[in-house]
With several copies, the nearest count.
Chain A
Amino acid sequence: MAEFSMGQALNRALRDALAADPSVVVYGEDVGPLGGVFRVTDGLTAEFGEDRVFDSPLAESGIVGTAVGMAMYGRRPVVEMQFDAFGYPAFEQVVSHVAKMRNRTRGRVGLPLVIRIPYGGGIGAVEHHGDSSEMYYAHTPGLHVVTPATPADAYSLLREAIEDPDPVVFLEPKRRYWTKAEVDLPVRTEPMDRAVVRRTGTDVTLIAYGPMVDTVLEAAEAAREEGCAAEVVDLRSLSPFDDQTVTASVRRTGRAVVVHEAATFGGYGAEVAARVTEQCFHYLEAPVLRVGGFDIPYPPPELEEYHLPSVDRILGAIDRLQWESEWTAESPAVPGRRSEVGV
């Protein structure tokens, strides 16, 4: 066993995929000699040559569009959008072509391509470098959307994404690039479309993905000290959603909080809350609560700590899960200071 950061595990996954399959190509902005601004592609051009790993012109729609063409012709392109907000120029290509090509051609042309996107905040970066864009993709049928929370998953999910016959939007939680773990690479973890219980507990299910999994695990640890046994589910796949694992947990615990960085309104937590409630309605002791980013543009670095879900905010949500039937007809929504969704 050796220690790998998530960035290193991703690098290794790309290297192993390039070595295993000659049809894999890696390109984008600065992924060549520089090795990417987060060094995820470090050393790959040197090892596999400019034909396999290279810098393209600076144009995201062109990057994704050419990847569509390559995938139509049997290549497996893995392209990078340098930051979340810089994936937006490619949005039309993603929604109108990447997600639809197989369907448009009645199954004849599939697109085995991967779009890697570092996403989320927490690294003190300036504007446009902290967006959480997962919902734009997760709401688009025809895409797989996955996001690892651990180095082992980073490796395994990326390998699987590259091997998948369909396009995968691969979201990399940039604040976790440097998080290390002991892991034996190469490793294959659970299949790409499955959620995983990271910690078992009986009182409440905490649901998270990507950058928030570690935060939620911390919150669970803190909750334990207050006598609350929280179960933690790491979704891993945002599309498709693993109903089975999540509902099994929530039916056991009867309470759930879903946590993410993205704006709460219309965020991924809405889908989780809606479907979990529909499937677990009579098991629920309290409404599924959401702890997300505020409904504001991603803030400047000096203020991001106030915006991002924190351990305290997660504990606060757990507190509001109506533990002692505080509810009365006069204070109908949620007792205590918060009357509303939104954080």
Chain B
Amino acid sequence: MKRTDVRPGSAPPLPPVEPIRLVDPDGRRVSDPAYTAPDHGTLLALLRAMIIGRRFDRQASALTRQGRLAVYPSSYGQEACQVGGVLALADNDWLFPTYRDSVSLVTRGVDPIEVLTLLRGDWHSGYDPERHRCAPQCTPLATNASHAVGLTYAARRKGEDTAALVLMGDGATSEGDAHEAYNFAAVWNTPVVFLIQNNHWAISVPVHKQSVAPTLAHKAIGYGMRGHHVDGNDAAAVHAVVSHALAEARAGSGPAIIEARTYRMGPHTNSDAPQRYRDDSEVEYWKERDPLARLERLLRDEGRIDDSELERIRAQADRLAATMRERLSAAGRLAPEELFSHVYASTPALLARQRQELLDELEA
């Protein structure tokens, strides 16, 4: 008799309520039964990428204040997630970032100027998704999660072992699209890791108004997949957990949801007014848990980095920032008629006429 039941085996374990941590806020190693910290080379790479990422982020915020970007959602404070997630990816994996995740793109190797296209307002997405294996930054919340499921499904059908990392916020987990994507991934067993950056706020709404579950990773159990809960300000832990989840997913053991507990140190975007909804003391609390400081301390204490090396990295970061400013000024403006160029593969008569009208108008 054919039975058509759900339960294919035993339930995956519940995620721990206390997040996985490999490095504590004071830069001391913490031992974990399941995970070991990445090697020193990786830890150095993580720190380096975080320093560069934060410098990029600071520069982008400054450019926004000067009116040279339309808007900038900073990831200041979330660098361990931005960097820990991306450096865990293989070259042929795909990244699905949101508006918040510019630093993840820079870490992935996308030209910073191309990253800023969206926020400068020249065009929507400025980089070539296929070249970098990075989907365009996504604004409609949670909608890119199912794209990652479809893409990896397609890759698997081609015999490739491509996995995908989806970045999403705590607020986005409330959307129906998050649920549908988690479930499709689990049912199709596609290699996708959903990294929820729980930065405690969705604009002005605290995460306890989004969910009353013990952790956001507890959702995983309802889809029959693994949930992980990690200290999102511990780059070593984020890297270890994401690497582990990607490896499992790639091996066919199923997708995973990871909640990374972190904090949005700045406003939602430059035009936000966080004093309306949150207390400065909260920011102070998290300042002491800075992701860069703790990894720097660890690497210093273990003799893997010194002032001069740090100086070199910071100088490199400053050069990047200076180039950003220059290249942004130098960048040419778009021709208005490009409005019509990318709506369809070939321009229908209606749009050709409208383009001609615009050109005539501009000449007049």
Contact = CB atoms under 8 A, between A and B. Distances in A.
Do the two chains bind?
A: yes
A139 interface: no
Interface in B146-167: 146-155, 157-158
B70 interface: yes
A303 interface: yes
A175 to B, nearest CB: 15
Interface residues of A, number: 86
Contacts of A141: 343
Contact of B174 (A62, A71, A93, A164): A62
Contacts of B203: 29-30, 34, 37
Contact of B135 (A72, A127, A313): A72
B45 interface: no
Contact of A61 (B99, B180, B341, B345): B180
Interface residues of B, number: 77
B299 interface: no
B143 A126 contact: no
Contacts of A88: 140
A74 B155 CA distance: 9
A166 interface: yes
Given A59-B184, A92-B143, A126-B71, A343 B354 contact: yes
A294 B342 CA distance: 13
Contacts of A297: 343
DSSP class of B's interface residues: helix, strand, loop or mixed? Answer: helix
Could you say which of B183, B333, B340, B344 has the most chain A C-beta atoms within 10 Å of its C-beta? Answer: B344
A106 interface: yes
A64 B149 CA distance: 11
Contacts of A34: 203-204, 273, 276-277
A75 B147 contact: no
Contacts of A331: none
A103 B124 contact: yes
Contacts of B340: 294, 296
Given A126-B70, A294-B340, A342 B357 contact: yes
B175 A240 contact: no
A299 interface: yes
Interface in A44-64: 51, 55-62, 64
Given A29-B203, A89-B175, A142-B344, A66 B146 contact: yes
Interface in B109-141: 118-126, 128-130, 135-136, 139-141
A164 B129 CA distance: 21
B251 interface: no
Contacts of A128: 139-140
A57 B187 contact: yes
B282 interface: no
B180 A59 contact: yes
Contacts of B16: none
A339 to B, nearest CB: 7
Given A32-B204, A55-B205, A301-B121, A193 B184 contact: no
A294 B354 contact: yes
B70 A265 contact: no
B350 interface: yes
Interface string A104-136: 111111100000000000001111110000000
B348 interface: yes
A62 B119 contact: no
A268 interface: no
Interface string B169-186: 001101111001101100
A67 interface: yes
B336 interface: yes
A106 B360 contact: no
Given A58-B202, A316-B361, A193 B122 contact: no
A296 B150 contact: no
B339 A97 contact: no
A302 interface: yes
A335 interface: no
Interface string B31-68: 00000000000000000000000000000000000000
Given A59-B174, A66-B146, A303 B334 contact: yes
A72 B181 CA distance: 16
Contact of B276 (A33, A69, A72): A33
Interface in A275-302: 294-297, 299-302
A300 B70 CA distance: 10
Given A32-B204, A65-B149, A295 B350 contact: yes
Nearest to A301: B121
Given A55-B204, A58-B174, A69-B151, A108 B129 contact: yes
24 contacts: A29-B202, A34-B273, A55-B204, A55-B205, A59-B184, A61-B177, A65-B146, A69-B152, A70-B151, A75-B150, A75-B154, A86-B141, A103-B343, A106-B125, A106-B342, A108-B130, A110-B345, A300-B121, A301-B121, A302-B121, A303-B336, A306-B336, A337-B360, A343-B357
Interface of A: 25, 29-30, 32-35, 37, 51, 55-62, 64-75, 77, 85-86, 88-89, 92-93, 96-97, 100-110, 124-129, 141-142, 144, 164-166, 193, 240-241, 243, 265, 294-297, 299-303, 306-307, 312-313, 316, 337-340, 342-343
5 closest cross-chain pairs (CB), A and B: A69-B150, A65-B146, A301-B121, A62-B180, A66-B150
Given A61-B180, A85-B140, A306-B358, 7 more contacts: A56-B209, A72-B154, A103-B342, A126-B70, A300-B123, A316-B361, A340-B350
